[in-house]
Amino acid sequence: MSAAAQRVAAAAMHAGTSGPDPAPLDASSIRVEFPILWQSVHGKPLVYLDNAATTQKPACVLDAVDAYYRCDNANVHRAVHTLSERATVAFEQARAQVARFVGARDSSEIVFTRGATEALNLVASSYGDMVLRESDEVVLTEMEHHSNIVPWQMACARTGATLRVVPIDDRGELDIEAFGNLLGPRTRIVAVTHVSNALGTVNPVAELVAMAHAAGAKVVVDGAQALPHASVDVAALDCDFYAFSGHKVYAPMGVGALYAKRELLDAMPPWQGGGDMILSVTFEKTLYNVPPYKFEAGTPDVGGAVGLGAALAWLESLGIERVAAHENDLMAYAQQALLGVAGLRVVGTAARKAGVHSFMLEGIHPHDVGTILDHQGVAIRTGHHCAQPVMQHFGIAATARASFAVYNTREDVDRLVDGLHEVKEVFG
């Protein structure tokens, strides 16, 4: 049994009885658990700093998916044969793991989706179409990812409701007073990101939820960039919906989840029709299944869900508080180190940030920065990060973005900074 597997097994055995090891994380030993990071790119050891786009997968997640397909693969909830029963148990255990990880009261509050985008579209289509009328308003923020803008624009186009946008300031922080002023009797839905993927800003979600609830609105939180970096407790936040993607929390691509309060899922109509979301079908009438199945039409990504369960168990075995402490340290170290690069401006200087530093190098296009860094073996993302309104706020088309995960080290930050000096020399 690998060290990671032993840790996961121990964490599962002691769940609820003892916390994880309080010692700081040793990121270099965690890195060993990620086979993809053992390679060189352009002759240099790979430094992967594009974790906000997608994280790499530890061996225990790869093994869990591999074992599922080698031993248990079958369609779920459909057959009485042994493999189908095993696949169904694995799928539902993964759902229970997700529920536990985000602090849901019950597994039935977790709907598996393809990712955050599909989860947000589900809410906008099902809940949005159910409640929105012509005089209603949906409040968003200027720092949303397109996945938490476009579904609401589409819902407003269908229902005649209006979008209202909370501005950000030049540090990339939300204007809370403006948010309060936008809330009113017409506000039905507030859709807000927990952490901005373009700026790293951490929003005070519990405070925003309390304000929105006082105005009678429901709150949809885009947690895609929050879940990998800090402990999330949907019951404590009291949000109505929470969406996230598995591939940003060390799980495979193509799977994610929507948390929603059970009473909302009960009231909402299904958004896609097909297998598993029904109890019975005749040509005259279809009876729908109970939540969460009512929202899971068609064969789900069972292998992906198994991988997601394994990834969250792995994170739990590390201790999410220790993960957050390690990453906060790395963010602070990177911020200082980047300040030492002449002509570099950090875009997004909020007091509370997680996971991401976006920046510009004076006179050099971010794509050139990214290309030259790649030749140094350093992977970052450049572009608008699917957050064009953020770029418009700062009057730029793109940024370079370094984003961090639990396996990154101070040495990785040093390699990034060395690479940036190289970029400056090339453009000298």
Positions that interact with ligand C6P (CB under 6 A): 52-53, 115-117, 145, 147-148, 193, 197, 222, 224-225, 245, 381, 385-386
Element (H, E) at 374: helix 366-375
The Cβ of residue 53 has, within 10 Å, a number of other Cβ atoms equal to 16
71 is catalytic: no
Least gap, CB of 137 to ligand C6P (angstroms)? 22
Q: Round to whole Å and give the CA distance between 55 and 212.
A: 32
**Minimum gap (Å) between residue 150 Cβ and ligand C6P:** 11
Residues sharing a CB contact under 8 Å with residue 9, sequence separation 6 or more, in sequence order = 1
Report cis status (omega within 30 of 0) of the bond before 20.
Answer: no
The phi-psi region of residue 134 (left if phi > 0; otherwise alpha if psi is between -120 and 50; otherwise beta) is alpha
Kindly state the smallest distance separating residue 323's Cβ from ligand C6P, in Å.
18
| 115 vs 389, beta carbon nearer ligand C6P | 115
Between residues 20 and 200, which has the closer beta carbon with respect to ligand C6P? Answer: 200
| Alpha helix positions (H), 68-149 | 82-102, 116-122, 129-131
The answer to whether the CB of 112 falls within 8 A of the CB of 100 is no
Show the tokens assigned to 223: 């947690």
Nearer to ligand C6P, 319 or 355 (CB): 355
User: Collapsing DSSP states into helix, strand and coil, what is residue 49?
Assistant: coil
Q: How far is CA 95 from CA 111, 206, 371, in A?
A: 8, 24, 40
Per annotation, catalytic residue among 71, 156, 239, 386 = 386
Q: By C-beta, is 317 or 399 nearer to ligand C6P? A: 399
Q: Choose between 223 and 319: whose C-beta lies nearer to ligand C6P.
A: 223
**Would you say 117 or 187 has its CB closer to ligand C6P?**
117
Q: Which is nearer to ligand C6P, 150 or 163 (CB)?
A: 150
State how far the Cα of 409 lies from the Cα of 49, in Å rounded to an integer: 10
CB of 152 to ligand C6P, least distance (A): 13
* Residues 227 and 248 sit within 8 Å (Cβ to Cβ): yes
Q: Token pair 């602070």 is at which residue? A: 332
Residue 218 Cβ, how far from ligand C6P at the closest point, in Å?
18
Supply the minimum distance, in Å, between the C-beta of residue 226 and ligand C6P: 8
- Concatenate the DSSP letters of all residues of 304-340 into one string: HHHHHHHHHHHHHHH-HHHHHHHHHHHHHHHHHHHHT
d(CA 325, CA 229): 9
Q: How far apart are CA 26 and CA 5, in angstroms?
A: 17
Q: Which is nearer to ligand C6P, 141 or 197 (CB)?
A: 197
Contact (Cβ atoms closer than 8 angstroms) between residue 382 and residue 366: yes
Minimum gap (Å) between residue 196 Cβ and ligand C6P: 7
Residue type for position 214: A
CB of 148 to ligand C6P, least distance (A): 6
8 Å CB contact between 241 and 213? no
CA distances for 354 relative to 56, 70, 148, 367, 401, angstroms:
18, 37, 19, 23, 13
Q: Which two tokens stand for residue 376?
A: 């140094």
Q: So which residues are the catalytic ones?
A: 386
